[in-house]
Structure 1
């Protein structure tokens, strides 16, 4: 993976990763506003998918961290970082357990389908349009899919809130955690019915 990244930086970015990101995002941002965030994400992710051993999850997670750390002088970096979503089994299983996948007609197996059309990432983007992230931090953008994805992950992760995960829910049965704040709104779908 290290050699692959080295050759990518040397051969594709002409040894200047920052300028390559700037150029790629500037080119992708041209045109209509519709699908702009998608075009900018793809402008970075598609070339980087050629790195050995790098998954969509790793690319989205790493690029989001890098892009969201950019100064205000790089608005395209920030805009792109806001829309990058990392899907792991915790997030995927949350969307399945709650019935969100089924309700939105987006049921699929964990893996590359999570990043395909109507996969988990698209589902979270749809949810994010209904949540004004500025209520949580006035410095956030109104539509902040990365924030929504991270909140779901934190709700499930054992090292965080540790509520909705395989450690606390037997995947062969519907969840019976009545202490969960989502219990009465959740469909409580068994993962292995």
Structure 2
């Protein structure tokens, strides 16, 4: 749904036309034309193609849990730590929890609340049980990730009945919407909604991981692909970019980074609206015509330090208009200071 105009209609229309042209240019300069191939390579390398086909939960669980670990630090730092110390896995957690640990919080997913395990102090909410507790056993980067691993395992075991593929199929099949956009939103919420209860994972992390999983499964499960390609992840880089360029002011409702990014007139709505009007097949004929995830990924890639590394706080003084005259988008950018002086 288009944002409610806050200016005369002609100005509103001009702003959208300019935004579409700008975002199309971003896709040309920073968009990954091999995005589907990149996802496919990771999908096959992790064995997810076979796991989805056979309904094998452990590889999918392990991959998602690893994806959840890429938060709070750079991807390189998270990857280096896991390469050195390993990560939690379905097989190891299943074995440790089958031994019936004494902690009452580990009986069921619904009872696992307020664990408060802290790696540095080796304390938790049930100190009498910590010496034999399986939660601290994986050598993860911090105690919150240990709690996430335990919470996610219990969710899959108790809510999904140990069958992640079957649970995703059921959630998508049960979703309903009066229009295509409503159906996409209903399917996304059918997945993200229940998973919000897992400790330590927010919508951004869940959406980012699930969209990759479902896009990768497109040959086996077209409905997964229809949902995954429509998922949009708005991080601070994308939000700030839309503000700096003037796109938020012209096409949406100015807002702070956070939940408002997904509300009416927010960043996600702006990206989805642009995706409706920008034919992604112009960049790669194998792309679907409407591909919000590609649009959002291109915006992120322009800003990310390990990608194009252009539109971010390392390059731009937040108190002043952007001075990066070498940027190919400089002449058409709104160049608004992120913070008022």
Structure 1 residues 172-187: aligned runs within 5 Å: 172-187=319-334
Alpha-carbon distance, 1:7 to partner: 1.5
Q: Could you tell me how far apart the structure 2 residues matched to 1:115 and 1:98 are?
A: 19
Alignment check: 8 A CA contact 1:94 1:164 kept: yes
Counterpart contact for 2:252–2:267, Cα < 8 Å: no
Residues 172, 114 of structure 1: alpha-carbon distance in 2 compared, 3 angstrom cutoff:
same
| 1:129-176 Cα deviation digits (max 9, x unpaired) | 121111111111111000001001111111111111111110000012
Q: Is the 8 A contact 2:252 2:266 kept in 1?
A: no
The 8 Å contact of residues 106 and 123 in structure 1, kept in 2 or not, is answered as no
Cα distance between partner residues in 2 of 1:29 and 1:137? 31
CA contact (8 A) 2:232 2:296 kept: yes
Give the distance between the partners of 1:124 and 1:108, measured in 2 at CA.
15
Counterpart contact for 1:87–1:121, Cα < 8 Å: yes
Unaligned runs of at least 5 residues, structure 1 = none
Pick aligned residue for 2:256 from 79, 99, 109: 109
For 1:70, the equivalent position in structure 2 comes to 217
- Computing the radius of gyration from Cα coordinates, the structure with the larger value is 2
The structure with higher relative contact order (CA 8 Å, sep 6+) is 2
Give runs of aligned pairs for residues 9-158 of structure 1, distance below 5 A: 9-29=156-176, 32-158=179-305
Q: Which runs of 5+ in 2 are unaligned?
A: 1-147
Per the alignment, residue 338 of structure 2 pairs with 191
- The CA deviation at 1:73 is 2.7
| Alpha carbons of structure 1 residues 63 and 192: separation in structure 2 relative to 1, 3 Å | same
More helix by share: 2
1:106 deviates by 2.0
Q: Superposition RMSD on alpha carbons, in Å?
A: 1.4
The two structures have a TM-score, normalised by structure 2, of 0.55
**Which of 307, 313, 316 in structure 2 is aligned with 1:160?**
307
